[in-house]
Amino acid sequence: MAKKKRGRPPGSKNKKNGSVATMDVGQLRAYIDSLQSVLAKKVSEQRAYFEEQLSQLGGYVSKTASAAIKAVTPRNGRSGKRAKAKPKYQSKKNRSLKWSGRGMTPVWMREEMKGTKLKKEDFAIK
């Protein structure tokens, strides 16, 4: 079996040499300045990387957007609603009541057909 090493593992916190708590004000100021310069350098590197990625993505987005627009637009030029259906049936009692034949049978037609031998074809407009 391998022997275990004693002490803190490498990279652990609370190192005794170079601890921030033991530095004087001048050393802390120099340390902060060095950290700020490193941070500024890393931020500029990342900014350049992401701007380059975004510029490459710009061409991709424009191609994808044009394809999406083509997919959404109708190919045959039709758009909007259909024309209102022309009436096919008319009431025998009240000539102003008309029905196109779409959807449920209207109440006026059901009431006129009830108890009589009238059928839907009898209400057809000729």
User: H or E stretch including 124?
Assistant: none
68 and 32 belong to one structural domain:
yes
Distances in Å between the Cα of 54 and the Cα atoms of 43, 62, 86 are 16, 12, 56
Total domains in the fold of the chain? 2
Model confidence over 7-48: pLDDT tens digits? 777 766 655 556 888 889 999 999 999 999 999 999 999 999
Looking at the fold, whether 93 and 68 belong to one and the same domain comes out as no
Same domain (yes/no): 104, 66? no
Q: Evaluate if pTM is beyond 0.85.
A: no
48 domain residue, yes or no: yes
Using CA atoms, how far residue 31 sits from 27, 37, 38, 42, in Å, is 6, 10, 11, 17
Domain range for 116: 89-123
For 55-80, how does the pLDDT look when each residue is reduced to its tens digit (9 = 90+)?
887 776 666 676 776 766 666 666 67
